[in-house]
Amino acid sequence: MEIRDRVAVVTGCATGIGRATAVGLARAGARAVVLADRKDVGDTAEAVVHAGAEALSVPTDVSDLGSLRDLFARTEAAFGRLDILHNNAGMGEGADIWPAVPSERCAAIVAVNLTGVILGTQLALEPMKRSGGGVVVNTSSGGAFVPLPPQAVYAATKAGVVHFTRSCAPLHESHGVRVNCVCPGLVDTPMILETGGGAIADWLKPVYDGVTLLRPEEIADAVLALVRDDEKIAEVVLVENQPAAAERSG
Ligand SMILES: NC(=O)c1ccc[n+]([C@@H]2O[C@H](COP(=O)([O-])OP(=O)(O)OC[C@H]3O[C@@H](n4cnc5c(N)ncnc54)[C@H](O)[C@@H]3O)[C@@H](O)[C@H]2O)c1
């Protein structure tokens, strides 16, 4: 899909990967980017407008069905169409380590990372069909493929996103909607600092020290590539870390 003049919704875009995708879409010529986060998205909105697109901020909790319905209704009301959805909002166990994670937080992780992706995709289908088709890109994680004992709930939801994405292949035929996902390795965003309550968690340190962190823009590039390539249907794309520079040279 050509991104120029398209209308996109990006969830979880106050910082990190979602912010980079929102700005990337604007730079690629999108007409409008709808910014959906439960945090303030003022900085992202400014950057999107600076990059040449309209920005509409819609305070959204992706774990709340009513809030998601409102997001898509406001998008269609403002711009008359929906072409692109990046289901990106996510959360992890924070500084707690499975199984010593409050049950309420476990439920919230599933609601945001998995239910939010499923319902976001479902609610986007009709608006996208009315627009002549569309593209959904979900954010999973490299943690979907390897056991992640300290963040077992997070890992389970991200594996779920991969399987959900693969199971959405027929939506291309039925609704003209391609659903794909990206699986980033460790990315330099606020989320990785939440693992240690403002620092890198001890359990993550060996991995963190061994790799070069990805930049959010590298994940945004992968998302935009999936949007552009009409051949990509139910595709799962890994964006992996390179070994840390010291290891590479030595
Ligand atoms: N940083 C990494 O190393 C990494 C690796 C793999 C996957 N991911 C995934 O990338 C996605 C983006 O995370 P990030 O690394 O950019 O971190 P981030 O903390 O910068 O972004 C996450 C965003 O999601 C928003 N969010 C959380 N719960 C929400 C809710 N209920 N409703 C609406 N918005 C909500 C947050 O407010 C935040 O803006 C997440 O799905 C995350 O799991 C991150």
* Residue boundaries of the structural domains of the chain: 7-249
- The predicted pLDDT at position 250 comes to 40
**Which of these is catalytic: 154, 168, 171, 180?**
154
For the CA of 112, the closest atom of ligand 1 is 31
- The predicted pLDDT at position 245 comes to 79
pLDDT greater at residue 94 or residue 246:
94
- What's the rounded mean pLDDT across residues 113-141? 99
pLDDT greater at residue 80 or residue 246:
80
Active site residue 154: yes
* Residue located via tokens 């199971």: 167
In this structure, the number of other CB atoms found within 10 A of the CB of residue 27 comes to 17
Please check whether the domain covering 7-249 is classified as CATH 3.40.50.920: no
Instruction: Give the side-chain half-sphere CA count within 13 A for 113.
Output: 26
Name the residue type at position 173: E
> Best of 187, 188, 223, 241 to mutate for ligand 1, by most ligand atoms within 8 A of CB?
187
Nearest CA to ligand 1 atom 8: 141
* C-alpha 248 – ligand 1 centre gap (Å): 29
Q: Is the pLDDT at 71 greater than 80, yes or no? A: yes
The pLDDT confidence band at residue 246, using thresholds 50, 70 and 90, is: low
**Ramachandran category for residue 143: left, alpha or beta (phi over 0 → left; psi -120 to 50 → alpha):** alpha
190-229 residues labelled b (16+ CB within 10 A) or e (exposed): ebbebbbeeebbeebeeebeebbbbebebbbbbbbebbee
DSSP-assigned beta bridge partners for residue 87: 138
For the CA of 41, the closest atom of ligand 1 is 39
Percent of the chain with pLDDT over 90: 98
pLDDT in tens, 185-241: 999 999 999 999 999 999 999 999 999 999 999 999 999 999 999 999 999 999 999
The pLDDT confidence band at residue 84, using thresholds 50, 70 and 90, is: very high
Please state, rounded to an integer, the average pLDDT across all residues of the chain.
97
Residues with CB under 6 A from ligand 1: 11-12, 14-18, 37-39, 60-63, 88-91, 112, 139, 141, 184, 186-187, 189-192
- The predicted pLDDT at position 35 comes to 99
